[in-house]
């Protein structure tokens, strides 16, 4: 089928469509709309004006929390009490007293205390009740069945819905639809599969994730001259840059490859892109580091800490030594200063020293559940929840639109993405046991935009396995164990109010706040 760039059907296509109509075909509507639009590029859809039909013209923000290693939903919001199960001794159920009820909510909250974390002699104490009670009305849990228990593959599928929309990641879709005018709309500080870009090569380059590996130091590289002792004045540097650009363009290399996409992108980034970032003074605004000579002598190099530095450091005091705290601190500033609309952050598989117990992150993050399931899940869920809580508090205090009274939090979605679930079986009545990878699990969404205080799906207490739901109506479907990765993907975007026309995604109305 040929496609005209004006969005109209060709004469041949129209005749074919009418013949389908005459034959009583039920495929006419998608032929005329969805199927055609799904073949258009993002650029052509923008020209046709179709991409922004569902948008209100103001940006919305997505924060992806990568719960690396397998965050088990039945060790948190959907925990099962032993008294509820006919097979309690053999599956991952908790003593009744460890599973706390959340008032007027379908959620649960686990309380856990242990003397060690596997073979690591540190105490583990966690209580999820305060967090769940605080955010239950803006929280949704959707049960899931994935299609891979390989870390890298499963992580990427948690972001693409297993290629649900041309292989685009959620972050790329959000960058495309809400990131117009933002210099770096998609910042990715995740690891492994969470850091990979999608497979849709037709998107504008700005939609793909900009990788940041050191959140506390990265802002210091956002200006080409500042922070360099003895550097020439700005006007001299601009003259040198202009000369460089002219000589490059006239060189044999520049003339040979002037039409190459990579060369065009490079020239754009070091002219328009670099100038724009420098004009926004991001080297200052995003800099959480304080001026602390002689160790951090910012003023000696003509630099300063962010105007928000003090309150961000108060929220994340270990920002310099704990990568997750540093990432969350930078995430807030990226949203506040309209640098990004999509930010990805989360723990990696490395040990991080610090915290009250002496370890801030265990080896393998959630995947240390191979050694000690209960202790690891309690420790890591507490880590995720405390990080999210501090970020939400910062977003709540930051005005977005003074005319409407909206805060940054009112327009932000937090998506806790995890690789997969964990196996549910254990030795009879064991309290310390290891688990493997399992396709069965659930995802957490937290936002004023979701249908809050909601569980989509449910848990069979006799197996501790989750079952599915109808993504359109929200009705639970006991016994449903088929993969639903596209439903989760569509649900995140639907709740955010993204324009999904032509995507072919399932109707996920059950996720959206009415």
- Is 184 a member of any domain? yes
Structural domains of the chain, count? 1
- What distance in Å separates the CA atoms of residue 402 and residue 79, rounded to the nearest whole number? 41
- pLDDT for residue 72: 98
- Is 442 a member of any domain? yes
- Is 163 a member of any domain? yes
Over 50: is that where the pLDDT of 471 sits? yes
User: What average pLDDT does the chain have?
Assistant: 91
- What distance in Å separates the CA atoms of residue 48 and residue 45, rounded to the nearest whole number? 5
Q: Is 78 helix (H, G, I), strand (E, B) or coil?
A: coil
- Is 101 a member of any domain? no
- High-pLDDT (> 70) share of the chain, %: 89
Average pLDDT over residues 361-382: 98
C-beta separation of 353 from 198 below 8 A: no
- What distance in Å separates the CA atoms of residue 432 and residue 443, rounded to the nearest whole number? 25
- Is 444 a member of any domain? yes
- What distance in Å separates the CA atoms of residue 510 and residue 456, rounded to the nearest whole number? 8
State phi, psi for 502 to the nearest 5 degrees. Answer: 80, 0
The two structure tokens encoding residue 242: 């202009």
- Is 176 a member of any domain? yes
- Is 11 a member of any domain? no
CATH number at 395 reads: 3.40.720
Q: Is 12 helix (H, G, I), strand (E, B) or coil?
A: helix
Name every residue whose Cβ is closer than 8 Å to that of residue 242 and which is 6 or more positions away in sequence. Answer: none
Burial label, 16 (beta-carbon count in 10 A; 0-12, 13-18, 19+): middle
Query: Both ends of the chain: CA-CA distance in Å?
Result: 39
Over 70: is that where the pLDDT of 489 sits? yes
- pLDDT for residue 372: 98
pTM of the model: 0.89
Per-residue pLDDT band for 323 (boundaries 50, 70, 90) equals very high
- Is 281 a member of any domain? no
Over 60: is that where the pLDDT of 439 sits? yes
DSSP 417: E
Domain that holds residue 324: 60-74+135-216+319-511
Average pLDDT over residues 221-250: 93
Torsion of CA 178, 387, 333, 202, to 10 degrees: -30
């Amino acid at each position: 089928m040929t496609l005209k760039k004006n969005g109209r059907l060709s004469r041949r296509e129209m005749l074919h469509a009418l013949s389908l109509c005459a034959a009583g075909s039920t495929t006419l509507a998608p032929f005329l709309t969805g199927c055609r639009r799904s073949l258009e590029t993002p650029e052509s859809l923008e020209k046709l004006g179709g991409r922004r039909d569902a948008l209100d013209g103001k940006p919305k923000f997505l924060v992806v929390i990568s719960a690396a290693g397998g965050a088990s939903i039945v060790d948190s919001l959907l925990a099962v009490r032993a008294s509820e199960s006919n097979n309690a001794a053999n599956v991952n159920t908790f003593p009744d007293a460890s599973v706390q009820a959340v008032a007027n909510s379908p959620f649960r909250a686990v309380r856990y205390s242990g003397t060690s974390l596997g073979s690591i002699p540190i105490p583990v104490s966690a209580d999820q009740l305060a967090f769940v009670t605080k955010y239950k009305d803006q929280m949704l849990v959707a049960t899931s069945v994935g299609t891979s228990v390989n870390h890298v593959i499963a992580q990427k599928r948690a972001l693409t819905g297993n290629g649900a929309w041309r292989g685009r990641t959620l972050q790329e879709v959000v960058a495309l639809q809400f990131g117009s005018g933002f210099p770096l709309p998609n910042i990715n500080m995740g690891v492994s599969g969470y850091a990979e870009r999608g497979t849709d090569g037709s998107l504008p380059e700005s939609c793909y994730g900009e990788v940041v590996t050191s959140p506390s130091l990265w802002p210091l590289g956002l200006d080409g001259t500042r922070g360099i002792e003895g550097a020439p004045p700005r006007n001299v540097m601009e003259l040198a840059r202009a000369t460089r650009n002219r000589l490059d363009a006239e060189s044999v290399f520049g003339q040979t490859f002037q039409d190459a996409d990579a060369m065009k992108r490079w020239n754009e980034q070091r002219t328009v892109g670099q100038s724009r970032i420098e004009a926004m003074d991001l080297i200052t605004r995003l800099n959480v580091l304080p001026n602390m000579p002689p160790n951090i002598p910012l003023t000696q190099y003509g630099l300063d800490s962010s105007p928000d530095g003090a309150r961000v450091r108060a929220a994340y005091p270990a920002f310099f030594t704990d990568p997750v705290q540093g990432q969350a601190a930078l995430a807030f500033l990226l949203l506040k200063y309209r640098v990004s609309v999509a930010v990805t952050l989360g723990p990696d598989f490395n040990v991080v020293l610090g915290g009250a117990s002496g370890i801030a992150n265990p080896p393998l993050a959630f995947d240390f559940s191979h050694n000690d399931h209960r202790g690891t899940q309690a420790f890591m869920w507490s880590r995720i929840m405390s990080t999210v809580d501090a970020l939400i508090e910062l977003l709540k205090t930051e005005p977005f639109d003074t005319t409407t009274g909206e805060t940054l939090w009112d327009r932000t979605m937090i998506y806790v993405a995890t690789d997969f679930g964990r196996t549910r079986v254990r030795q009879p009545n064991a309290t310390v046991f290891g688990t493997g990878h399992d396709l069965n699990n659930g995802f957490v969404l937290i936002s004023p935009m979701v249908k809050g205080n909601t569980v989509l799906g449910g848990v069979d207490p006799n197996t501790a396995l989750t079952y599915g739901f109808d993504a359109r109506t929200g009705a639970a479907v006991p016994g449903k164990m088929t993969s639903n990765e596209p439903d989760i993907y569509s649900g995140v975007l639907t709740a955010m109010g993204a324009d999904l026309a032509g995507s072919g995604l399932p109707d996920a109305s059950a996720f959206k706040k009415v």
